[in-house]
Amino acid sequence: MSPEASRDPLPGAPPGTDAADVLIVGAGPAGSATALALRAAGVPRVVLVDRAAHGSPERAALRVGESATPNVGPLLARLGLPDDLGRLGHRPYHGNLSLWSGDGETADDFLRRGSGHGWHLDRARFDRWLREAAVERGARLLAPATLAGIERRPEGGWTVGLRDAAGQRSVTARVVVDAGGRRAPLATALGARRRRLDRLIALAVDVKIDGAVGAAPAGDPAGGGFRGRSFVEAVEIGWWYAAVLPGGRAIVTLMTDDDIARAAGLAGAGAFRSAWAATARLRDLVPPPEDGPGAGAAPAVFSAASQHVDRAVGAGWIAVGDALIGFDPLTSSGIAGALDDALAAADTILRWFSGDGTAARAAAIGYARRAEDTLRRYLAERTRHYTAGGRWPDAPFWSRRAAR
Ligand SMILES: Cc1cc2nc3c(=O)[nH]c(=O)nc-3n(C[C@H](O)[C@H](O)[C@H](O)COP(=O)(O)OP(=O)(O)OC[C@H]3O[C@@H](n4cnc5c(N)ncnc54)[C@H](O)[C@@H]3O)c2cc1C
């Protein structure tokens, strides 16, 4: 059946339920991009569900994940979106400065790799823009609404329970997509298991900076300043990350393991600021707030563990983005991976709707293999990165990673 042929309500859908061809749980980059790709292919009833209210004020909450690598632009273009994010207020991102292996500060600029530049995003604005593009293309957004349950219908497809301000409601769907982020709420409700491969967390603050922060100092060994680049500095307990964001702000993040952070009380403002002040280079690039009462906020804490679900796809469901594989932020692969998954998942779903059972099965197998290949390549890359940073081979953070 072509996607256009599915306009009729699902046979046997209980009265009072909405019907969707595809219901997507999660309207982050992976969910919004899946909706965009399905709408572009003509799937009529695409419903996006997100537990967060849409259009919340831009800086209501710190949103991490701001470095969009150069491959994000071409993926946006494949989704039919403009790839010049500068016009939308995001800042060009030209490469990385790092103090990683003990060889001093090094610069890795995208131009030298033969790629264009990426973007330092205002993440909240980027996510909202993608979601709005999906809605403009005809996807229906239910937000705030949370997944409350899911059941397979005997006649095919699913009944999905949602909880929103008005109470409980049900939507029937032929196919469901888990784009619900690291917790993989839908895949786990359907029996898939999350495999967590480490205990990495991010402790992050978003600070106001003045115009001089990040400008290239005279004789900068890396041949440029920190503006327009991401900065990474390895330390014994993990690594620091910083980038200048749109709007005169910078993000400063310490990546470490949850037990190490707990033992050192790093989630407290004072310990976090002291660790920041003890860095070799970061403290000059983005100075920590002055010590004293009320100085500096406690960092927000996020899980950043490498993880994956043990099943990428099943009969009538598929996982994308962080719900499928959660990457270590060191690789900056999350946004590009989410958009790429979305395009691959939309292709898979279209083959399920084609009415050709052999093609549908082959598509599901192909998607599962793609996920396995991505995970294998990612884990090799992660090991390479951490092995290169082995300045403290006996420190728990580094020895745990070298052991893999
Ligand atoms: C500290 C840190 C730094 C990072 N830095 C980078 C970076 O620099 N570059 C990069 O490319 N990537 C980075 N990432 C990764 C990147 O942010 C993610 O890969 C990306 O957000 C994945 O998109 P997603 O749509 O899969 O998931 P998410 O962005 O997590 O979106 C999931 C959505 O699902 C919704 N949801 C969850 N549960 C439910 C439910 N039960 N019902 C309804 N809705 C639900 C949530 O509200 C959310 O909107 C970083 C991640 C971390 C943790």
Instruction: Choose among 109, 106, 74, 90: nearest CA to 244.
Output: 90
Helix axes 29-40, 123-136, angle to 10 degrees: 20
Residue 148: alpha-carbon gap to chain centroid: 23
The per-residue pLDDT for range 274-289, each reduced to its tens digit, is: 999 999 999 998 989 8
Q: What percent of the chain has pLDDT over 90?
A: 70
Span 255-283, average pLDDT: 96
Which residue has the least CA distance to atom 49 on ligand 1? Answer: 28
Which residue has the least CA distance to atom 37 on ligand 1? Answer: 180
> What angle (nearest 5°) sits at the alpha carbon of residue 230, between those of residues 387 and 110?
85
3-class DSSP string for 305-337 = CCEEECCCEECCEEECHHHCEECCHHHCCHHHH
* CATH 3.30.9 correct for 78-121+199-303: yes
pLDDT of residue 13: 53
* CATH 3.10.150.10 correct for 3-66+124-196+308-388: no
The per-residue pLDDT for range 10-33, each reduced to its tens digit, is: 445 555 568 999 999 999 999 999
- Distance (Å, rounded) from C-alpha 276 to C-alpha 280? 9
Pocket test for ligand 1, best of 332, 374, 381 (most atoms within 8 A of CB): 332
Average the pLDDT over each of 71-85, 95-109, 138-152 and give the range with the smallest value.
95-109
Q: DSSP assignment, residue 85?
A: G
| Atom in ligand 1 nearest the alpha carbon of residue 243 | 8
Average the pLDDT over each of 96-110, 186-200, 333-347, 364-378 and give the range with the smallest value.
96-110
The per-residue pLDDT for range 286-323, each reduced to its tens digit, is: 989 876 555 668 999 999 999 999 999 999 999 999 99
> What angle (nearest 5°) sits at the alpha carbon of residue 233, between those of residues 229 and 235?
170
For residue 122, the CA-to-ligand 1 centroid distance in Å is 14
Q: Is the pLDDT of residue 377 over 70?
A: yes
Mean confidence (pLDDT) of the chain: 89
Which residues form the pocket of ligand 1, taking CB atoms under 6 Å from any ligand atom? 25-31, 49-52, 64-68, 146-147, 179-181, 183, 185, 202, 253, 302, 304, 321-323, 329, 332, 334-336, 338
Span 328-341, average pLDDT: 95
pLDDT of residue 9: 43
pTM: 0.92
pLDDT of residue 114: 73
Q: What percent of the chain has pLDDT over 70?
A: 89
- Distance (Å, rounded) from C-alpha 294 to C-alpha 270? 10
Domain spans in the chain, listed from the N-terminal domain onward: 3-66+124-196+308-388, 78-121+199-303
pLDDT of residue 211: 64
pLDDT of residue 3: 37
For residue 338, the CA-to-ligand 1 centroid distance in Å is 9
pLDDT of residue 403: 57
Which residue has the least CA distance to atom 53 on ligand 1? Answer: 304
| Atom in ligand 1 nearest the alpha carbon of residue 29 | 25
Average the pLDDT over each of 54-63, 138-147, 263-272 and give the range with the smallest value.
54-63
